[in-house]
Amino acid sequence: MEGEKLWSVSEQELQEYLRVLLVLVRECGDIISSAISSQANVEIDLKVENKEEGNSSSVLTQTDIKVEKHLIAGLRGKFPDHKFIGEESSSETEELGNAPTWIIDPIDGTMNFIHSNPLVCTSVGLTVNRKLVLGVVNCPLIGKLYSATKEGGAFCNGDKIRVSGVVEMSQAMMIMELPVGASKQKKDVGMDNVRYILDNAHALRAPGPAALDISWVGAGAADGYFSQSIHSWDMAAGALIVQEAGGSVLDTTGGDFDLMSRGIVVASSAKLAREICSFIKLLPTPRDQQTPVHPL
């Protein structure tokens, strides 16, 4: 926002942010693992406002809330001047500003969590001056922790990762979410996109958690992913991981990625990203905030 001060963060400070976050997300991984093993993963609420977006967008569990509170309390205790945007809590600011802001999805893949499916993750991104500087996606039940810092590379369990480099749709494993329970318009758009992929791609998968799907593209475990109805907390960490792994991150229209647009395309190459943007049918979706944020 005009007139807002710019923040300066040193490499030493950034590494301290990462160190603290890694401790917290691993603790959250223990909370998630314990809840699944004890079957304490039941749905406690229905997000009625999200119902038309699909069943996976409308569920909430007690563990979602517990994990988010643990993350925010731990980060606020260390960095009291930082801001927070969380899926299960209201944002502390109407619009993302220059102050260091943690963008948190406590449990991405809540529907998987409810069904004791192990593809469940915690996603945390950090912006400074509206630019992504740090991202962590932890999937505790399969033992995969993805991380990236701006200009510091992308990693899985400490080992450097790179995108696959696939450039042709005919050789690409594509990932997308299937809009179960969504409005007819969203289902129709989804099926049109599925048909193109079935006719042109090497493979299609629908694992579920957007943050993990995006991270898999960064790790070379998939080649392309897109969505038009996820949120900033689903995309923030993964977008940086893909960029630092050498991949392409775009808006669904083919322009610069906008963190608040609720749409993203990630791919193993710029050529594949452009093809994805060329075929996907667009779905009108309310933005997370009106002011664009180009964080990469």
**pLDDT computed for residue 60 by the predictor:** 65
How are the residues of the chain apportioned to helix, strand and coil, as percentages rounded to the nearest 5? 40, 20, 40
pLDDT, tens only, 182-213: 688 888 888 899 999 999 999 999 998 999 99
Per domain, the residue ranges of the chain are 11-160, 169-279
| C-alpha span between 272 and 203 (Å, rounded) | 14
pTM recorded for the entire structure: 0.92
Domain 169-279 has CATH 3.40.190.80: yes
Residue bearing the bigger pLDDT, 293 or 111: 293
Query: 11-160 has which CATH code?
Result: 3.30.540.10
Q: Is 68 tagged catalytic?
A: no
Tokens at residue 190, please? Answer: 């989804």
Asked about 275 being catalytic, the answer comes back as no
Which residue of the set 53, 64, 68, 87 is catalytic? 87
Q: How does pLDDT run across 26-53, given as a tens digit for each residue? A: 999 999 999 988 866 555 555 444 444 4
Residues 229 and 186: beta-carbon distance below 8 Å = yes
Q: Write down the catalytic residue from 61, 101, 110, 149.
A: 110
Note if 108 is an active site residue.
yes
The active-site residue, picked from 32, 36, 107, 197, is 107
**Tens digit of pLDDT for each residue in 241-277?**
999 999 999 999 999 999 999 999 999 999 999 999 9
107 is catalytic: yes
The pLDDT assigned to 89 comes to: 65
> What is the distance between the alpha carbons of residues 165 and 107, in angstroms, rounded to a whole number?
29
DSSP string across 190-227? HHHHHHHHHHH-SEEE--S-HHHHHHHHHHTS-SEEEE
Active site residue 159: no
Q: Are 111 and 206 in contact (CB under 8 A)?
A: no
